Amino acid sequence: MNKYVTHLECSLTQKQYPKDTVLELSEAGRPLLVKYDLEAIEKAHKKEEFSQSLEPGFWRYLPLLPITNQASIISLGESITPLIDISQLYPETEVFIKDEGRLPTGSFKARGLAMAVAMAKEFGLNHLAIPTNGNAGAALAAYASRAGMKSSVYCPKDTPQINILETKLQGADTHLIDGLINDCGKIVLEGKTKYGWFDVSTLKEPYRLEGKKTMGLELAEQFNWELPDAIFYPTGGGTGLIGMWKAFHEMHAMGWISKPFPRMYAIQSTGCAPIVKAFNHGNKFAELWEKPSSLPWGIRVPVAVGDFLILEAVYESNGKAMAVEDHEVIQKRNELAKQGIMLCPEGAATALALDHAIANGDVAKHEKVILFNCATGLKYPMPSLSE
């Protein structure tokens, strides 16, 4: 493991765990966070060195990532994802889309799974399993196959067809389940004890979070270490939101960025909004959302093991959790596509939420805002020629 990693820590109880051991959740059943000797990193590295790096992707932030060194990288050609300036569509707001659809396997799940698979390889694991709404399974399949590992993927049977097929084609043992992502999670859990799989479910191992953290590092670098005012993030398990928040704290501790951090807006679907409900009640934890439905599949997550971490970031940043309607999301997707900006439904959900936030005054004039397009729009059903 990276020499700067000191230990891991339970995100709920702060109990410490040793590095260099295979870990999943803490004893409290909550996510483990990788802790670094930030003082040592600050002494040895300047933030400017990252912009000069010849490494085209997020691997340039190696001192702040868990892998031991360059040799552990399993690459499919990761790149720093572009910011698309769409401010001309907004009279008074500066709006940028962080286009994560440019990553290998067409979604930001590549960040987390590239890291988790690299760490699994360092630990000598050979069979990884995952419950997924689509993109995580595809990313696992690709990186695991590339690393010479087996992968088993469980997804709800109404997962977008392309996700199912790309996952199978890239070598995963792929199963369709008559249920939701948490039902798939239960099957993976059983396989863990039965077949010795390693479970790479969202936040149930510590390293996918470190991969997603790179979105925060990238944003800081791309905005010349002065972060934007607000970030709109489509929130399922919340790995990306939690990861960015972790990155902001780490960079702040090293003096690379200053406060205030961006306001974090967690966007969900009105048909599956456990985080929004908890936020509206001022709660620390979220309850299981019964009978969830959400057309943006990536955010159809009725229960999240990192719920309190998502909420903490939203509360601390003075952000909000907001829910949007499926049919309006698709309208927004279609409307933006006509402007040459084709987002995935989850990305369109953030654009719609921004419209609401501007209308109700949450986003002030001349603020700088990031929308997350988490996957390429090409993976999703489109209107037919006659529509």
For the CB of residue 248, give the shortest distance to ligand PLP in the complex, in Å.
16
Instruction: Among 30, 60, 98, 109, indicate the residue that binds ligand PLP (CB under 6 A).
Output: 109
Instruction: Among 261, 367, 375, 377, indicate the residue that binds ligand PLP (CB under 6 A).
Output: 375
- In the DSSP assignment, the letter for residue 298 is G
User: Which phi and psi (to 5°) does residue 371 adopt?
Assistant: -110, 140
Give the residue closest to ligand PLP by C-beta.
298
The 279-298 site mask, x for binding ligand PLP (CB under 6 A), equals -------------------x
For the CB of residue 246, give the shortest distance to ligand PLP in the complex, in Å.
13
Instruction: Among 97, 128, 369, 374, indicate the residue that binds ligand PLP (CB under 6 A).
Output: 374
Q: Which residue, 151 or 235, has its beta carbon nearer to ligand PLP?
A: 235
Whole-number Å distance between alpha carbons of 256 and 267: 28
99 binds ligand PLP (CB under 6 A): no
- In the DSSP assignment, the letter for residue 81 is P
Q: Which residue, 237 or 262, has its beta carbon nearer to ligand PLP?
A: 237
The 295-314 site mask, x for binding ligand PLP (CB under 6 A), equals ---xx---------------
For the CB of residue 38, give the shortest distance to ligand PLP in the complex, in Å.
24
Whole-number Å distance between alpha carbons of 52 and 46: 11
107 binds ligand PLP (CB under 6 A): yes
**Largest pairwise CA distance in the chain:** 61
Q: Which residue, 72 or 134, has its beta carbon nearer to ligand PLP?
A: 134
Strand partners, 263: 230
The 318-357 site mask, x for binding ligand PLP (CB under 6 A), equals --------------------------x-x-----------
Among 152, 191, 148, smallest CA distance to 172 is for 152
For the CB of residue 263, give the shortest distance to ligand PLP in the complex, in Å.
17
106 binds ligand PLP (CB under 6 A): no
Q: Any residues with CB less than 8 A from the CB of 38 and at least 6 apart, and which?
A: 250, 253, 254
Q: Residue 216 is inside which H or E element, if any?
A: helix 207-222
The answer to whether 83 and 98 have CB atoms below 8 angstroms apart is yes
| Displacement of CA 352 from its chain's centroid (Å) | 19
The 163-202 site mask, x for binding ligand PLP (CB under 6 A), equals ---------------------------------------x
CA dihedral 251, 211, 66, 113 (to 10 degrees): 180
Strand partners, 98: 83, 372
Question: Could you tell me the CA-to-CA distances from 17 to 29, 67, 200, 246 in Å, in that order?
Answer: 13, 17, 19, 18
Taken as a whole, the chain contains a residue count of 387
Q: Which residue, 131 or 240, has its beta carbon nearer to ligand PLP?
A: 240
72 binds ligand PLP (CB under 6 A): no
Site for ligand PLP in 199-258 (CB under 6 A): 202, 234-240
For the CB of residue 5, give the shortest distance to ligand PLP in the complex, in Å.
22
In our burial notation (b when 16+ CB lie closer than 10 A, e otherwise), range 151-170 reads bbbbbbeebbeebbebbbeb
- Reduced to 3 states (helix: H, G, I; strand: E, B; else coil), residue 157 is coil
Residues that bind ligand PLP (CB under 6 A): 107, 109, 135, 202, 234-240, 298-299, 344, 346, 374-375
